[in-house]
């Protein structure tokens, strides 16, 4: 099965968006990693590392006695990830490799394989998981942070612009072949990969207040999705008035006092038998 074309693209704006998004997600990812037992001294493989944010977080957690390898197919992102590792003083124990996930063949086994927002982009996520599970030592961990934005939870009072934009975002993923509700499929995916039922935790972002991060997060994501949205005939940059989208979603929610429910964040992990 061929992987669908990568829906968010590889633009400079997408690189910046990934780093902004990473600062929103870091606390949740860290909690999932801690609960899953990521600890000092471990050797970690980060799948689809992009700009390196999860690799950098893992490096903070494993420390200089540990080791992190980030893998992504995007050479430009990896160049920036290397610079960031040097700036953070952890270049000695992080390395990055340009590769497709299905082609990784490391020599040694890892204590943990981790990934954030990566399984949903695979043509066959269970096959990817099965492949990478073979790189984890028995007693090691597989830990994934994925999301579910497949269905808009109507805010109360209802906020029509938020609901429309959220639905377009979700539809652009669905019709492009990437399940926006992948977070809900984690248990089944682990089982299909031949792994035990994972421990799963969830966190839900909530916004609506003045200055909330959710407006910029959604508007930036929609901006990266514009080529796909236009190609699918879901809307256009002009119709969405992309330049003012974040401000208009904020004005709407604040005027209504609407509590906005964002994408559910799922952490799922197993200890490899
Ligand atoms: C949404 S980004 C997430 C980046 C990073 N994990 C984070 O949370 O900041 C997904 C990344 O996975 C990479 N990716 C997806 N499928 C891949 C594959 N089959 N092989 C290599 N890289 C892949 C993309 O290039 C992209 O950088």
* Residue spans per domain, the chain: 12-271
Cβ partners under 8 Å of residue 239, min gap 6: none
Asked whether the predicted pLDDT for residue 4 surpasses 70, the reply is: no
With bands split at pLDDT 50, 70 and 90, how would you rate the model's confidence at 8? confident
Q: How far apart are CA 145 and CA 202, in angstroms?
A: 9
Taking CA atoms, 100 is separated from 22, 41, 71, 139, 258, in Å, by 22, 26, 8, 26, 42
Ligand 1 mean position to 118 CA, how many Å? 5
Residue 195 CA to ligand 1 centre (angstroms): 22
d(CA 70, CA 106): 12
Instruction: For residue 18, give the ligand 1 atom closest to its CA.
Output: 9
* Closest ligand 1 atom, residue 77 Cα: 27
Residue 164, pLDDT > 80, answer yes
pLDDT (tens digit per residue) in 239-259: 999 999 999 999 999 999 999
Which 8-state DSSP code applies to residue 1? Answer: -
Percentage of the chain lying above the pLDDT 90 cut = 93
CB-CB contact of 109 with 237 (8 Å): no
> Which numeric CATH code is attached to 12-271?
3.40.50.150
pLDDT above 90 for 21? yes
So what's the pLDDT on residue 129?
A: 98
Percent helix, strand, coil in the chain, to 5, is 45, 20, 35
Ligand 1 centroid vs 160 CA: distance in angstroms?
Answer: 31
The reported pTM is 0.96
- Ligand 1 pocket check for 44: Cβ under 6 Å: no
**Mean pLDDT, residues 199-220:** 97
Strands 136-148 and 264-271: antiparallel
14 lines ligand 1 (CB under 6 A): no
d(Cα 153, Cα 163) in Å, to the nearest integer?
8
Is a pLDDT exceeding 80 seen at residue 177? Answer: yes
Q: 22: Cβ below 6 Å to ligand 1? A: yes
* Angle, helix 12-36 to helix 213-231, in steps of 10 degrees: 120
The predicted structure's pLDDT at residue 11? 87
- Asked whether residue 3 carries a pLDDT value surpassing 80, the answer given is no
The mean of the pLDDT values for the chain is: 96
pLDDT above 60 for 225: yes
| Placement of tokens 């609407």 in the chain | 258
| pLDDT tens digits along 32-43 | 999 999 999 999
pLDDT at 196: 98
pLDDT tens for each residue of 54-86: 999 999 999 999 999 999 999 999 999 999 999
Q: Ligand 1 within 6 A of 90 CB? A: no
The per-residue pLDDT for range 74-130, each reduced to its tens digit, is 999 999 999 999 999 999 999 999 999 999 987 889 999 999 999 999 999 999 999
175 and 6 Cβ atoms separated by less than 8 Å: no
Residue with tokens 């609506």: 208
- Atom 8 of ligand 1 has which residue's CA nearest to it? 116
The residue with greater pLDDT, 8 or 95, is 95
Contact, 218 vs 250, CB < 8 A? no
Mutate to test the pocket of ligand 1, among 8, 45, 80, 118 (most ligand atoms within 8 A of CB): 118
- Residue 9's pLDDT is 83
């Amino acid at each position: 099965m061929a992987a669908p074309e990568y829906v968010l693209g590889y633009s400079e704006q997408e690189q910046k968006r990934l780093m902004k998004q990473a600062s929103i997600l870091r606390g949740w990812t860290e909690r999932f990693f801690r609960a899953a037992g990521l600890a000092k001294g471990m050797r970690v493989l980060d799948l689809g590392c992009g700009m390196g944010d999860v690799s950098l977080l893992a490096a903070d957690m494993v420390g200089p006695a540990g080791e992190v390898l980030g893998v992504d197919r995007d050479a430009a992102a990896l160049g920036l990830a290397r610079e960031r590792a040097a700036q953070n003083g952890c270049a000695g124990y992080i390395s990055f490799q340009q590769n497709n996930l299905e082609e990784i063949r490391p020599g040694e086994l890892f204590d943990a394989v981790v990934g954030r927002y990566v399984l949903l982009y695979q043509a066959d996520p269970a096959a990817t998981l099965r492949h990478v599970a073979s790189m984890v030592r028995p007693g090691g961990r597989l830990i994934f942070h994925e999301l579910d934005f497949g269905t808009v939870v109507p805010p109360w009072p209802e906020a029509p612009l938020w609901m429309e934009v959220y639905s377009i975002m979700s539809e652009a993923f669905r019709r492009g072949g990437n399940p926006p509700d992948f977070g809900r499929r984690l248990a089944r995916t682990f089982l299909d990969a031949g792994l035990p039922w994972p421990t799963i935790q969830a966190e839900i972002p909530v916004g609506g207040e003045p200055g909330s991060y959710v407006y910029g997060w959604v508007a930036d994501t929609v901006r990266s999705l514009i080529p796909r949205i236009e190609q699918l005939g879901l809307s256009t940059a002009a119709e969405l008035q992309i330049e003012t989208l974040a401000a208009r979603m904020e004005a709407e929610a604040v005027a209504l006092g609407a509590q906005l429910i964002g994408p559910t964040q799922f952490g799922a992990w197993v200890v490899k038998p």
